[in-house]
Chains A and B, each alone.
Chain A
Amino acid sequence: MNAVDKGANLIVPGMPTPVSIDEQVAKLKKTLLKDIQRSAYVYRVDCGGCNGCEIEIFSSITPVFDAERFGIKVVASPRHADILLFTGAVTRAMRMPALRAYAAAPDPKIVVSYGACGCGGGIFHDLYCVWGGTDKIVPVDVYIPGCPPTPYATIYGFAVALGLLDQKLKGTHLIQGEDDRVIPAFPNIPLDVRVMVEREARRMAGYLQGRQIAEKFLGLFDLKSPGEASAQLTQYLHEEADPRLSEIVMRLLEVTKAALA
């Protein structure tokens, strides 16, 4: 008894121990992941999600995206399933039902962690009643991030799980070079004018669109005489043909001219 490492099987309060799989099952699973060669039945396990993921799963089996082309079928019982799709951040209440669904599915089974909550807890990762991700309770084979993943992302995730497509995303680590230096954008426009244009655009069009409009506007205004800039902007507005955009850009032109005069 003394030879056994006491820490190995110790259940730490508040820290879940993921279910482990034995060697034989792991071997079978490897072949299943590599090439399934038959239809894959999917059982959807909701571990306390917001239902956004469920809606996207069901829209990916509609005729428009049609995951059933690849033999992927959503079934109603974990006993029929090859793939278990865990959505949600694993709340305290849904942990046991999730483990029961996992135990009910026949071996070998592929576990897919679906959505931001499933992959890493998402926006709920530090809540008091949340375990924070599927991999805290069961071993996960494929992660499909997204909040929620679009039907395209879902199909791609299934294709990765079934070995039809290869994983594209790789972990990266950039290291800063010796002489990296950031040059401020639009060096010919005075800083206060640039700030004023950005603020005005954001006030009128909202944060993200305002910034995009300000960037486009400053790009067209840069380095040019006011007359030339007006001509270019008029042409741009004519191409876009959006009265809301025209309104904002004309206002920006007005305030910029006033500030530069």
Chain B
Amino acid sequence: MLKLLKTIFKAGEATTQYPFAPAEVSPGFRGKPELDGLRCIACGACTMACPANALSMETDLDAGTRTWQLFLGRCIFCARCEEVCPTHALVLTSDFELSVANKEDLYQRATFKLQNCVECGKPFAPAKEVEYAMALLVQAGNTPEAVEASRAHYQTCPACKRKQNLNHPSQPEMGRYINQEVHK
């Protein structure tokens, strides 16, 4: 009897204090995905990677917006969205307290604006994505002035670019692969 009591006291209390005390999760725990709306460029890489289709994007051409949506009820917390995010906007937090009584609360949404083509005026890509591509060109070694000078070119939709190239065959803007000198 005494021996048993001794063993019990030695073992201490195994039960966690949660929910009366905050629970500690292990490092690398994959909890609720959190989108940093300021860093997101609405490229849609996460929606392509999501195996459960919890992430989706809907483009509204009339309103000129693209809405990103995360349905947490379908999310399997695999972190593939975090892996593919080019701007590190989507990160899995350690938040696990996700139970809700109302299903609407499981939806997280973010709306981004689309860039209108300077030629035809139709939206063709998220405005932030175009800006980010221009910033990357500066980082890749182009001067900011040169990138800024061809802003109209970057803000033109692919269809209009093709038309321009057909109309002005003497100055084609075919992209870096064709304009670059090829070294053997």
**A residues touching B (Cβ–Cβ < 8 Å)?**
33, 63-66, 69, 116, 119-123, 125-126, 133, 135, 140-147, 149-150, 152-153, 155-157, 159-161, 164-165, 167-176, 180-185, 187, 190-192, 207-208, 211, 215
New A-B contacts (13) at CB < 8 Å, excluding given A175-B110, A175-B111, A208-B83: A64-B14, A119-B103, A143-B103, A145-B106, A156-B96, A164-B19, A168-B98, A169-B97, A173-B111, A182-B128, A184-B136, A190-B139, A207-B83
Given contacts A146-B96, A173-B111, A182-B39, contact A116 B52 (CB under 8 A): yes
**B128:A181 contact, CB within 8 angstroms:** yes
List residues of B whose CB falls within 8 A of some A CB. 14-16, 18-19, 23, 25, 32, 35, 37-41, 51-54, 71-77, 79, 82-83, 87-89, 96-113, 128, 131-132, 135-136, 139-141
Q: Are B111 and A120 interface neighbours, CB within 8 A?
A: no
Give A149 to B128 CA distance when docked, in angstroms. Answer: 35
A153 close to B98 (CB less than 8 A): yes
Closest to B105 in A: A171
CA distance A155 to B89 in the complex (A): 30
The chain A residue with its CB closest to the CB of B126 is A176
A192 (CB) vs chain B CBs: closest residue? B140
Cross-chain contact B99 with A157 (CB below 8 angstroms): yes
Inside 8 A of B98's CB, which chain A residues have their CB? 144-146, 153, 168-169
**In the bound complex, what is the Cα–Cα distance between A150 and B103 (angstroms)?**
20
Known contacts: A141-B101, A171-B107, A175-B111. The answer to whether A184 contacts B18 by CB under 8 A is no
Interface centre among B75, B88, B131, B136 (most CB of A within 10 A): B75
Query: Are the CB atoms of B14 and A146 closer together than 8 Å?
Result: no
Complex alpha-carbon distance, A121 and B74, angstroms:
6
Query: Are A184 and B37 in contact, with the CB atoms below 8 A?
Result: no
Whether A190 touches B73, Cβ cut-off 8 Å, given contacts A168-B97, A182-B128, is no
Closest residue of chain B to A170 (Cβ to Cβ) is: B105
Alpha-carbon distance A173/B108, docked complex (angstroms): 6
**A145–B18 Cα gap in the complex (Å)?**
18
- Bound complex: CA A29 to CA B106 (Å): 22
Which 8 pairs across A and B sit closest by C-beta, in order of nearness? Answer: A119-B73, A120-B73, A147-B76, A157-B99, A120-B74, A174-B110, A174-B37, A191-B140
User: Which residues in A have their C-beta under 8 angstroms from that of B52?
Assistant: 116, 122-123, 125
Q: Which residues of A contact B106 (CB under 8 A)?
A: 119-120, 143, 145, 169, 171
Q: Check A174 against B14 for contact (C-beta < 8 Å).
A: no
29 examples of A-B residue contacts, CB within 8 angstroms: A63-B14, A64-B16, A65-B16, A120-B71, A123-B51, A123-B52, A123-B74, A123-B76, A133-B73, A142-B101, A145-B75, A150-B25, A150-B96, A156-B19, A167-B101, A169-B98, A169-B106, A171-B108, A173-B110, A173-B111, A176-B112, A180-B37, A181-B131, A182-B38, A182-B132, A182-B135, A184-B132, A207-B83, A211-B83
- A40 to B35, alpha carbons, bound, how many Å? 37
Cβ A146 vs Cβ B100 within 8 A = no
- Is there an interface contact between A146 and B77, defined as CB atoms closer than 8 Å? yes
For A187, the chain B residues whose CB sits under 8 A away are 139
Q: Which of B54, B82, B139 contacts A184 (CB 8 A)?
A: B139
What's the nearest-Cβ distance from chain A to residue B142, in Å?
10
- Bound together, the chains give a CA A182 to CA B131 distance in angstroms of 8
Residues B74 and A116 in contact, CB atoms below 8 Å apart: yes
Of the residues A122, A160, A169, contact of B74 by C-beta under 8 Å: A122
Q: Report chain A residues within 8 Å CB of B83.
A: 207-208, 211
By a CB distance below 8 angstroms, the chain A residues around B41 are: 182
A145 near B107: Cβ-Cβ < 8 Å: no
Q: How far is the CB of A178 from chain B (nearest CB, A)?
A: 9
Say yes or no: A144 contacts B141, CB within 8 Å. Answer: no
A172 to B53, CA, bound (A): 19
Point out the residues of chain B lying under 8 angstroms from A64, CB to CB: 14-16
Instruction: Let me know if A145 and B109 touch, CB within 8 A.
Output: no
Known: A125-B52, A145-B73. A152 touches B18 (CB 8 A): yes
Q: What's the nearest-Cβ distance from chain A to residue B111, in Å?
A: 5
Nearest opposing residue in chain B for A135, CB measure: B103
- Whether A191 contacts B96 by the Cβ 8 Å rule is no
